[in-house]
Amino acid sequence: METIVLKFGGSSLADNIKLNIVANKIIDFCNKNNKIIVVVSAQGKTTDNLIKEAKELSYDPDRREMDVLLSTGEQISISKLAILLNRLGYKAVSLTGWQAGIFTSNDNGKAKIEYINTQRIEKELDDGNIVIVAGFQGIDDKKDITTLGRGGSDTTAVSIAAAIKAAHCYIFSDVDGVYSSDPKKIIDAKKIEELSYDEMLDLSNEGAKVLHNRCVEIAKKYNVLIETGSTFNNNIGTQINNKIEESLVKSIVKNDNLFLITLKYENYNADMLNKLYYSLLKNDIIPTSIINNSTNSFNVSFTINTSDLGKFQELLERELSMFSSAFTNISRISLVGYGIVNNKEIIEKALEIMNINSVDIFSVQIEECKLSIMTKEKINNKILEQLHHELI
Amino acid sequence: METIVLKFGGSSLADNIKLNIVANKIIDFCNKNNKIIVVVSAQGKTTDNLIKEAKELSYDPDRREMDVLLSTGEQISISKLAILLNRLGYKAVSLTGWQAGIFTSNDNGKAKIEYINTQRIEKELDDGNIVIVAGFQGIDDKKDITTLGRGGSDTTAVSIAAAIKAAHCYIFSDVDGVYSSDPKKIIDAKKIEELSYDEMLDLSNEGAKVLHNRCVEIAKKYNVLIETGSTFNNNIGTQINNKIEESLVKSIVKNDNLFLITLKYENYNADMLNKLYYSLLKNDIIPTSIINNSTNSFNVSFTINTSDLGKFQELLERELSMFSSAFTNISRISLVGYGIVNNKEIIEKALEIMNINSVDIFSVQIEECKLSIMTKEKINNKILEQLHHELI
């Protein structure tokens, strides 16, 4: 008898029809003589709606109280799913984060799981129950409710799988796996059967939305076998494991949510760059890359996420008004695959394609399993398609 | 510095405008240099909606899971109110039932508060916080979430007031107090300034909806001073305390939610009444009064609440089909006031009015502070008005 963890995201739970599909998927696994732990997110748009309601009461809601509010979303999901499974004749019991023994740091809104006391989960499994655990939430050492931040339910699932030494951790969503590129942009994008943890980490960091990167880090650390799949079909998904194979490029992704910022000032001052970096970090703006273009005058370029642009513009007006500034929406294309660092042909080919298309490159970064090219402009899907065609 | 408990019901929290009114009422009490504990219900129709959603998944939802689901309603209220008070510049912290140390029996859906560990509440008060506690919920000895049943937030408020030895427990709703009769039925019904616990208990048992009777029992036991009032005005409400005064009739209420049942059978059998009683209780039907009208044949009359009628009709078909039966919707009129038992004039006057109006009486019960007259028919508001006019 194997213990397995199944995780279902919010869009898989959005209405009663979908809840029934999820329940039947769980029952399929249960009938194969497994001990089952299910981790769920909040239904559909619940979390977004709760955030909206809180913002109607306060432009900057207290973070401790936000976590009390948001954690109700998953609590509603777990109880509904347990009610449904019980009605279908399968013994099921729901556990909130604190009942499931999920202890976290006390950073409300972005807490990290520190420890899982699996006693209650194991007792309920031993009693023959399907155990349904609220994802995304836990408690800190003061017994205050915490949440793990967006995508945190993946992390809950993998952490429980690690703590309980589960044979598999299935992450179900509305896509059935990780693709060699975004299927919405590239017609011949194909599903990847196997990825190593490092490859998946690189993809998550580049914005592939299949798995939260914190969850992949934990899976890597505790060697948890992750299988991704679709809630709505039985296709084989992508397996994320510790197998390492010398390989070609497995996936190419493009991130258009970046802004290239250039700041200039006539008088150069050696301390200025430090001060700039300090201002950015103090305001929770983390530049993805920062380059000093000159030695005689101050001429610094860096990239930030589009989501930080508003904050940065405020900062510029408030503290950095001495600089002349320029903003451009740019792209980063990343090729992911184990061993890319040793494959000069791939790097050459990629740069050649950029060159043929007269793309003005801002930076190139080569890592163990990733080649990232940051451009000085937003580039179109045709180039992505060409890279995909030539390299995959 | 006095510690006081304020309780707000669901209709006082239904939308953002009402939440703001509640927050300002709390701030008024806070500015009078009090330590404040607020107990709240779920917003508006939240609980009803959650019940409806659960019934869409199962005709008979698991009771443990229902409590996990329903308890989210109050959790949403506490966090929203804390967010709002914090925004208005008042330090506030929300606590769920389990965080507030509310331990109950394990009867899901109708749990009783057994013990309150006030440590966390007291710590938060000492830190200068307004403490906002989720009403209606607690945890049992297995750390499972429980709910106290309808009206349970009143009980939470009074139990906390008792445990913390609060100076006052204010129960706010959309009516400002207890009236001498239903103001919707009797034009000259007037607000009662003071009631003893026993008088209030009699009124609650007779269906006055201002206070849940379990909460009055606890208030009586621990001598908690209850003040009822309206969320939406500053009128003086009704105080419920332990003062006893010889008085006339304080309130007259009519309950039309009763059915008089008569069961007949030709052969008399001494054991039949016991068997009938046992059948009723086994099916959770508690007759308010049961009378054996005959000694030679079986001819038994009793009254049940309208809400039990469906269950009783099923029972009749299933187990009691040998009886011939009759059903009538009847009324019970209750006169409440301390010392009624010793005031023959009141009893005589009441019965005289019934007589003048040719009301067929089924039973009369006289208790310490209550006279109840059960009729054999449903009686109209004119008689209630006449009683109110002559006796109050």
pLDDT digits (tens, 9 = 90+) for A183-204: 777 788 888 888 889 888 888 7
Residue with tokens 């279902």: A8
pLDDT at B246: 56
Nearest residue to A353 (alpha-carbon basis) of A333, A367, A338? A333
CB-based contact B58 A83, cutoff 8 Å: yes
Distance CA A175, CA A208 (A): 12
Q: Which residue of A has its CA nearest to B57?
A: A84
Interval A343-363: pLDDT, tens: 777 888 888 888 888 888 877
ipTM strictly over 0.90?
no
Q: Is the pLDDT of residue A271 over 90?
A: no
Kindly give, in sequence order, each residue whose CB lies less than 8 Å from that of residue A296, ignoring residues fewer than 6 positions away: A268
| Chain B residues within an 8 Å CB radius of A83 | 54, 57-58, 61-62, 65-66, 69
Q: Calculate how close chain B gets to A368, using CA atoms only, in Å.
A: 46
- State mean pLDDT over B290-294: 69
Nearest residue to A126 (alpha-carbon basis) of A88, A160, A159, A164? A164
Nearest residue to B67 (alpha-carbon basis) of B118, B140, B8? B140
**Alpha helix stretches (DSSP H) within B127-267:** 152-163, 197-205, 213-222
Nearest to B83 among A61, A78, A145 (CB): A61
Nearest residue to B48 (alpha-carbon basis) of B35, B66, B36, B27? B66
Q: Is the pLDDT of residue A174 over 70?
A: yes
Q: Does any CB of chain A come closer than 8 Å to the CB of residue B120? A: yes
Residue A205: C-alpha distances to residues A24, A209, A253, A371, B304 (Å): 33, 9, 11, 13, 66
Q: Calculate how close chain A gets to B143, using CA atoms only, in Å.
A: 7
Distance CA B7, CA B131 (A): 12
Select the more confidently predicted residue: B345 or A206: B345
Strand-pair partners of A130: A92
pLDDT at A245: 62
**Cβ distance A332 to A376 under 8 Å?**
no
CB-based contact A99 B143, cutoff 8 Å: yes
- State mean pLDDT over B284-305: 76
Q: β-strand A251-265 against B239-241: which pairing, if any? A: unpaired
pLDDT at B213: 79
Select the more confidently predicted residue: A46 or B342: A46
pLDDT at A246: 56
Residue with tokens 């006019």: B389
Considering only A68-82, A274-288, B93-107, B118-132, which range has the smallest mean pLDDT?
Answer: A274-288
Considering only A160-164, A181-185, B216-220, which range has the smallest mean pLDDT?
Answer: A181-185
pLDDT at A270: 67
Number of A:B CB contacts under 8 A?
Answer: 105
Q: Does any CB of chain A come closer than 8 Å to the CB of residue B61? A: yes
CA distance between the termini of chain A: 40
Distance CA B30, CA B41 (A): 20
Q: Calculate how close chain A gets to B136, using CA atoms only, in Å.
A: 16
Nearest to A86 among B65, B98, B144 (CB): B65
CA A273, A275, A277 angle in degrees (round to 5)? 70
Q: Which residue of A has its CA nearest to B143?
A: A99
Considering only A202-206, B10-14, B113-117, which range has the smallest mean pLDDT?
Answer: A202-206
Interval A26-50: pLDDT, tens: 999 999 978 999 999 999 999 999 9
Q: Is the pLDDT of residue A273 over 90?
A: no
**Taken in order A182, A188, A191, A193, is the CA torsion positive or negative?**
negative
- State mean pLDDT over B359-379: 82
Domains observed in chain A? 3-241 (3.40.1160.10), 251-391 (3.30.2130.10)
Distance CA B233, CA A382 (A): 67
pLDDT at A157: 97
Nearest to A54 among B54, B61, B83 (CB): B83
Q: Which residue of B has its CA nearest to A17?
A: B57
Q: Does any CB of chain A come closer than 8 Å to the CB of residue B137? A: no
**Cβ distance B234 to B177 under 8 Å?**
no
Q: Is the pLDDT of residue B267 over 80?
A: no
Select the more confidently predicted residue: B310 or A136: A136
pTM: 0.78
Q: β-strand B194-196 against B239-241: which pairing, if any? A: parallel
Q: Calculate how close chain A gets to B36, using CA atoms only, in Å.
A: 18
Segment holding A215, helix H or strand E: helix A213-222
CB-based contact A96 B145, cutoff 8 Å: yes
The pair of structure tokens assigned to A307 is 């989501």
Nearest residue to A58 (alpha-carbon basis) of B124, B120, B79, B229? B79
Kindly give, in sequence order, each residue whose CB lies less than 8 Å from that of residue A386, ignoring residues fewer than 6 positions away: A353, A357
- State mean pLDDT over B263-288: 78
Nearest to A84 among B57, B87, B96 (CB): B57
**Cβ distance A226 to A171 under 8 Å?**
yes
CB-based contact B83 A145, cutoff 8 Å: no
- State mean pLDDT over B355-365: 82
> Cα dihedral angle (A93, A130, A216, A200), rounded to 10 degrees?
-130
CB-based contact B65 A79, cutoff 8 Å: yes
- State mean pLDDT over B148-171: 92
Select the more confidently predicted residue: A254 or A206: A254
Considering only A218-227, A230-239, B238-247, B344-353, which range has the smallest mean pLDDT?
Answer: B238-247
Q: β-strand B298-305 against B324-336: which pairing, if any? A: unpaired
The segment with the largest mean pLDDT, out of A376-380, B154-158, B320-324, B385-389, is B154-158
Q: Does any CB of chain B come closer than 8 Å to the CB of residue A241? A: no
Q: Is the pLDDT of residue A237 over 80?
A: yes
Distance CA A49, CA A66 (A): 12
User: Contacts for B220-223 with beta carbons within 8 Å, 24 or more apart?
Assistant: B221/B162, B222/B158, B222/B161, B222/B162
Select the more confidently predicted residue: B314 or A273: B314
Label residues B34-62 b or e (16+ Cβ within 10 Å = b). bbbbbbbbbbbebbeebeebbeebbeebb
Distance CA A219, CA A217 (A): 5
Q: Calculate how close chain B gets to A56, using CA atoms only, in Å.
A: 8
pLDDT at A30: 93
Nearest to A80 among B54, B79, B96 (CB): B54
- State mean pLDDT over B81-98: 97
Task: Indicate the pLDDT class of residue B373, thresholds 50, 70 and 90.
Answer: confident
Nearest residue to B288 (alpha-carbon basis) of B266, B275, B307? B307
- Mean pLDDT (chain B, rounded): 88
Nearest to B65 among A54, A64, A83 (CB): A83
Q: Calculate how close chain A gets to B283, using CA atoms only, in Å.
A: 22
Q: Is the pLDDT of residue A367 over 90?
A: no
Q: Is the pLDDT of residue B204 over 90?
A: no
Nearest to A69 among B16, B79, B145 (CB): B79
CB-based contact B75 A84, cutoff 8 Å: no
Distance CA B345, CA B335 (A): 13
- State mean pLDDT over B297-312: 85
- State mean pLDDT over A294-308: 80
Residue with tokens 């039947």: A24
Give, as one character, the DSSP assignment of residue B193.
Answer: S
pLDDT at B244: 66
- State mean pLDDT over B43-71: 95
Nearest to A65 among B59, B68, B94 (CB): B94
Q: How far is CA A277 from the centre of its chain?
A: 26
pLDDT at B340: 77
Q: Which residue of A has its CA nearest to B99?
A: A143
CB-based contact A82 B65, cutoff 8 Å: yes
